[in-house]
Structure formats: C-alpha cells, structure tokens
Chain A
Amino acid sequence: MTYSPIVPQPNGQSPANTQAQIQTNFAQYALKFLVNHSALNTTNQGDHEKVIFEKLSGDPGVVNDLVALFCKDAISKSGTEPQIFAQIKKFLPSPNDPTNAPNIAMQLTQSLVNTVGPNQFVSFLIGNYRLYFGTVTANGTVTLSPAPTTIHSVVAIPNNITLGIPSLVSVVVNSSNNFQFDIFSNASGVFSFTWICIATA
C-alpha cells in the first residue's frame, strides 16, 4: 500500500477500521523521508544526506525571500543535459541598475571540467560560461576542447620573466572554438604566455 492522506475518513469511522492504512502511512512516511534525509530515530534525523533533484521542465518561479535550487535541461555545444540552477526573487530595477531584468534562473553547474591539462584546462562560471586557460610557448593557434558555442574574451599575459625583456601579444578569434596568438619581442628564445578565455558553453 502507498501513503494515503485521507484516512481515517470522517463521519464516525473509527481509526480501528483503517489500522492497516495508518500503519502503512507511518511506515511510508519514514521510508520516503529517508530517501534524501537522515532517517527518523537516528542521531541526525531530518538532516539532508544528499539531495537528488528530479528534472523540471521550467523555472519554479520565486516571489518570496528565498533561493530555489533545482534541475532542468541546459543546452550547450556539447549537447543537452540536466544541470543545477538557482532562481532568486526579482529585485531589479534598483537605484544603481535601471534594467528591468526578470529573475531568470542562473545555471550553476556544468558537467565538463579538465583539471589535468597539460596545456589546456577547463572550468566553468555561473551562467553557462566556460573558463578555459593554459599556456602557450610560441605563435600559434589554440583549439578549445570541448568546443564552446561562442568565444567572448581571450586575454594573454606575457610570462617571460626569465628573459627579462617585455614581449607583446595579440589575439585573433578565428572561429567559435579557435583563436591564434601573435607574439613580438626583441629577445630571442622561447616565449611563454598564460592565457584565459571565457566562452558560452
């Protein structure tokens, strides 16, 4: 039997007539409660041990002073998959920001990172942005992997401290997942640049 919120019925029905269902209700409540929480009658009862989100089709909507965390599909160049979002109460426009922006949900997570490199690393920013970064040692191109949808900014910084001579760099974005560095210096040798790129996933 499943949990039933409509027992025992009124009109004089004795709970004794629904004893089995009442017992089921107590059991089912405890069972469903411990799916994501510490079980009843344990030291940490009521705490969350995990939070498993079922995928929603849209934003839940927030009108009160709270933050809603939830899961829905997010679209990226890599495909469509569920991610965690946060939605806050609408508060714009404000005295410093006249934009009448809606409180659209903000994507908190992505499922792709690269923390082992060696030449290119990937993390992410809130809002479906990817943060790529790495080093280059000469003129050349960088192809981002996994490929993003759109590159918004690429900044390269000379890293040639050992040479002691300033060098110059510029960047050209060739496509949605590729950019090139052009380097100039009066010094000879191998030039090293660190770079960082922000793109829509």
Chain B
Amino acid sequence: MIPTPKDNYDSQVPNPNDFLAVSQGDFLSNFGQLYNAFVRNHIALDAASSAGNHTNVELVQLPVAPHTNVGEISLYSKNVVDQVSQFFLKFQGGNVQGQEVQMTNYQLYFNQIIQPGQFGLFSMLPGGLIIYFGVVFASGTNPVNTLVLHPYITKNLICINLCLSGTTPGISPWVSIVPEASGIIKKLTLHDALPGFAYFYIAIGNT
C-alpha cells in the first residue's frame, strides 16, 4: 500500500521491514520538507550558485540566553522590557557562563527636529545604552533652555557633554534632570547657558 505523504518531516521512515516503495510518500514528503525548511534563511538547495549561503538570519526570540561553551559565541534575540526582541550576543563561558551583551536597542528613526530650538538624533551602544547627540539652542528659540532626550527611554543618565558652538570660547552650561513620575528621564534643564548661543551635545543613558 502506498502511504499518503505526510505534511511534516518524519525522521522515523522508512521502517525496518518496509519495501522502499512503501515509503515513497515519506521520501517525497521528507525531501520536500527539508527543501522548504532549508530555503528559509538560505539560498535554496537547488540554486545554480551560492546554495547554502544565507539570505538573512532570523533569530527567533529566546526566553533566556543560550548556553554557550568555550570556543563559541552565540547570536540570538531576546525580549527587552517595554520593547520587542532585540539582538544579543553572548561570549564563551563554560561552567561559568560568559557575558551577555545587548547589541541593539529600541528602534532607530530619524526625526531630527525634536522641539523648537533643538536638532537631535540618537543611536545605540552595546550593553543597552543609548546615545543622544545634536545641537541645542539656549533662549531665543528655546526659552526654557530645555534639552530633550528623545525617545523617552533613558532611566539613568550616565554622562553628558556640551560644547559651545561659535568662534567665542566660553563655558558650557551645567544640567539638571527634570523629574518625571515615570522615572524616565525626558528632559534636562540647561543652567548658565549663554543666551542666543548654541551648544553641541552628546549624552549617554541606559534603558
């Protein structure tokens, strides 16, 4: 009897006492399943060139970091609170598992105009850090001398540096954090900023 091909890969065929012909459907199904599974993320098995290379690598979200042995590095994705799956890396460990490093953070988008008087962008650093940078104008277009850390995800401000823009050297303002009930640091107040001047800034926070 010729069996009906299965919908899933079956590693238990053919059975020891089967005639090969009896397993025809299983062979067909398994070859098809292997092909379809492999073509996800890879150049197809029957491609004329580059077969086996990756088209992309989809890292399915893991609940915890994978065990990583000495001589290995793991790349994987794991959920980050208030975000989604992000890209992680874990170094070799052994019995004492190695360091886990969050490689991506949040979602980059490129809205430079944060508020009147501030042009800003952001990026990320390994370790769940976010880096803000741009130019903030004191008074005039920014009457409250506020520097906004957008997007609002910084829980701890690690460092910030400001530098006067212009040809006249001067002191840089000092900053204080505008308290937020959520604990998220959204805004900084610039103190002793020179009215009418602009300041370059670079700030690093963790999320």
Contact = CB atoms under 8 A, between A and B. Distances in A.
Interface of A: 2-10, 12-16, 22, 25, 28-29, 31-36, 47, 51-54, 56, 60, 62, 64-71, 86, 88-92, 94, 96-97, 99, 101-104, 106, 108, 125-127, 129, 152-157, 167-173, 182-184, 196, 198
Contacts of B77: 65-67
22 contacts: A2-B46, A7-B31, A8-B24, A9-B24, A10-B5, A14-B24, A28-B45, A53-B57, A54-B50, A67-B77, A67-B87, A67-B104, A68-B58, A69-B57, A88-B104, A97-B152, A101-B109, A152-B121, A157-B161, A170-B168, A198-B121, A198-B133
Instruction: Tell me which of B42, B45, B51, B103 has the highest count of chain A C-beta atoms within 10 A of its own C-beta.
Output: B45
Contacts of A88: 84-87, 104, 107
A66 B85 contact: yes
A102 to B, nearest CB: 7
Nearest to A173: B165
B125 interface: yes
A7 B185 CA distance: 62
Contacts of A34: 52
Interface of B: 2, 5, 20-21, 23-25, 27-28, 31-32, 34-36, 38, 42-43, 45-46, 50-61, 72, 75, 77, 79, 82-87, 103-104, 107-109, 111, 119, 121, 123-125, 131, 133-135, 151-153, 161-171, 182, 184, 200-202
A106 B21 CA distance: 51
A176 to B, nearest CB: 15
Contacts of B51: 32, 35
A153 B134 contact: yes
A152 B184 contact: no
Contact of B167 (A2, A3, A172): A172
A67 B5 CA distance: 33
A180 to B, nearest CB: 8
A4 B31 contact: yes
A69 B56 contact: yes
B84 A89 contact: yes
User: Lowest 9 CB-CB distances: which A-B pairs, in order?
Assistant: A35-B52, A168-B169, A70-B56, A5-B35, A32-B52, A101-B109, A67-B77, A3-B45, A184-B169
A118 B52 CA distance: 42
Contacts, number: 242
B164 A170 contact: yes
Given A88-B84, A182-B167, 11 more contacts: A6-B31, A14-B21, A33-B38, A34-B52, A66-B85, A67-B87, A69-B56, A88-B107, A94-B82, A152-B135, A168-B170
Given A91-B107, A154-B200, A96 B21 contact: no
